[in-house]
C-alpha cells in the first residue's frame, strides 16, 4: 500500500520484546552498547548545525521527533539534553513501556503510537531521528517522504541503518544473531538493508540534502562502538532539509 509504511510482522516482533527495552543486559543489550556513540554524534552535530552556545541544555527550544522510538532509549537522553521531545512508534506496547519509563523518571516526553505518515500533528520539527528504523519499514520511499514532510526547512534528519553488503550479512545477521546471540534470530532481514547511495537518491527526491555519512564499528577488545570511515556494515547519515 502506497499510503502505509507499517510492516505488521516487524511491529509484532518488537512488541513481543517490549518489556526488555530498559534492561541493559536483555534482548536490547546491543542497543544499550550502541547508544553512547549515537548520542555523542547527534549532540555534536546538532550543536554545530544550530550554532549552540549553551552546553548544559544544548537542545533547549529545539523540537525533536524520534521516529520508531521503541521504549525511548534515544528519546530520553535527547530530552535530558533539553529538547522538546516527541517519540512515535507503531507498536502500542513499545509506547506503553516508553510512557511508563518517562513518568517514573519525571520526564516530559510526548509519546504517540503512530507512524510518520499517520501523525496527525501539524507541527514541524527542527530535528528528526530515524535511527535503526528504515530497515524495518515497508515502502521506504513513502516513509522518507512522510518523514521529510514533518521537518522544518533547514532542519536536519539523522538516518542510521545497515548497508546492503556481504559484510553486513556476515556481521549483522550470521555474527550478531546466530553466533554471538546478541540479537534474537530474525531481528534483521538483509533484503531490507539499504545502501547509502540508494538512501541518498530517495532523500534527494524529498528535499533532503546529504551533509555527511559516517560508519560505525564495534571494537571487541574495548567492548564499545566507535565512529569510522568504513560504511560497509552500520552507518549514520546526516541530511538537511532544503
- Residues 92-131 pLDDT 10s: 999 999 999 999 999 999 999 999 999 987 899 999 999 9
Quick check: helix, strand or coil at residue 29?
A: helix
| pLDDT per position as a tens digit, 192-203 | 999 999 999 999
Residue 241 phi/psi, 5-degree rounding, is -80, 130
**Residues paired with residue 110 on neighbouring β-strands, in sequence order:** 86
Quick check: helix, strand or coil at residue 195?
A: coil
C-alpha–C-alpha distance, residues 129 and 114, integer Å: 15
The pLDDT assigned to 182 comes to: 82
The grid coordinates of residue 193 equal 538493508
Q: Does 3 fall in a domain?
A: no
Q: Does 98 fall in a domain?
A: yes
The pLDDT assigned to 1 comes to: 44
Q: Does 2 fall in a domain?
A: no
Q: Does 1 fall in a domain?
A: no
| pLDDT per position as a tens digit, 148-179 | 999 999 999 999 999 999 999 998 999 988 88
C-alpha–C-alpha distance, residues 185 and 207, integer Å: 36
Q: Does 118 fall in a domain?
A: yes
- The CATH number assigned to the domain holding 230 equals 3.40.50.150
C-alpha–C-alpha distance, residues 175 and 180, integer Å: 6
CB 150 within 8 A of CB 128: yes
Look at the block and give the residue holding cell 525533536.
64
The grid coordinates of residue 18 equal 517490549
Quick check: helix, strand or coil at residue 71?
A: coil
- Sheet harboring 84-89: ordered strands across? 109-113, 84-89, 63-67, 125-131, 151-162, 234-241, 208-219, 224-228
pTM (2 decimals)?
A: 0.94
Q: Does 186 fall in a domain?
A: yes
Domains: count for the chain: 1
CB atoms within 10 A of CB 96: 17
- Asked if pLDDT for residue 36 goes beyond 50, the answer is yes
Mean pLDDT confidence for 187-216: 97
CB atoms within 10 A of CB 106: 6
Q: What is the domain range of residue 147? A: 8-241
Question: What distances in angstroms separate CA 214 from CA 9, 16, 41, 194, one per listed residue?
Answer: 30, 32, 10, 14
The pLDDT assigned to 21 comes to: 96
Amino acid at each position: 500500500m502506497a499510503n502505509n509504511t507499517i510492516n505488521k510482522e516487524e511491529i509484532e516482533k518488537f512488541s513481543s520484546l517490549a518489556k526488555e527495552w530498559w534492561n541493559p543486559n536483555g534482548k536490547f543489550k546491543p542497543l544499550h552498547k550502541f547508544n553512547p556513540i549515537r548520542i555523542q554524534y547527534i549532540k555534536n552535530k546538532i550543536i554545530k548545525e544550530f550554532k549552540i552556545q549553551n552546553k548544559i541544555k544544548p537542545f533547549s527550544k529545539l523540537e525533536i521527533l524520534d521516529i520508531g522510538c521503541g521504549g525511548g532509549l534515544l528519546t530520553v537522553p535527547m530530552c535530558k539534553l533539553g529538547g522538546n521531545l516527541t517519540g512515535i512508534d507503531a507498536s502500542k506496547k513499545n509506547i506503553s513501556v516508553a510512557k511508563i519509563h518517562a513518568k517514573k523518571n519525571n520526564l516530559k516526553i510526548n509519546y504517540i503510537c503512530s507512524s510518520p505518515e499517520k501523525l496527525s500533528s501539524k507541527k514541524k520539527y527542527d530535528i528528526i531521528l530515524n535511527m535503526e528504523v528504515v530497515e524495518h519499514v515497508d515502502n521506504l520511499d513513502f516513509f522518507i517522504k512522510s518523514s521529510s514532510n514533518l521537518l522544518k526547512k533547514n532542519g536536519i534528519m539523522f538516518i542510521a541503518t545497515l548497508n546492503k553488503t556481504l559484510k553486513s550479512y556476515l556481521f549483522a545477521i550470521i555474527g550478531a544473531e546466530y553466533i554471538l546471540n546478541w540479537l534474537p534470530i530474525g531481528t534483521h532481514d538483509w533484503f531490507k538493508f539499504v545502501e547509502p547511495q540508494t538512501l541518498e537518491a530517495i532523500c534527494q527526491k524529498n528535499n533532503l540534502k546529504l551533509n555527511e555519512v559516517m560508519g560505525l564499528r564495534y571494537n571487541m577488545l574495548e567492548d564499545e562502538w566507535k565512529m569510522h570511515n568504513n560504511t560497509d556494515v552500520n552507518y549514520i547519515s546526516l541530511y538537511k532539509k532544503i
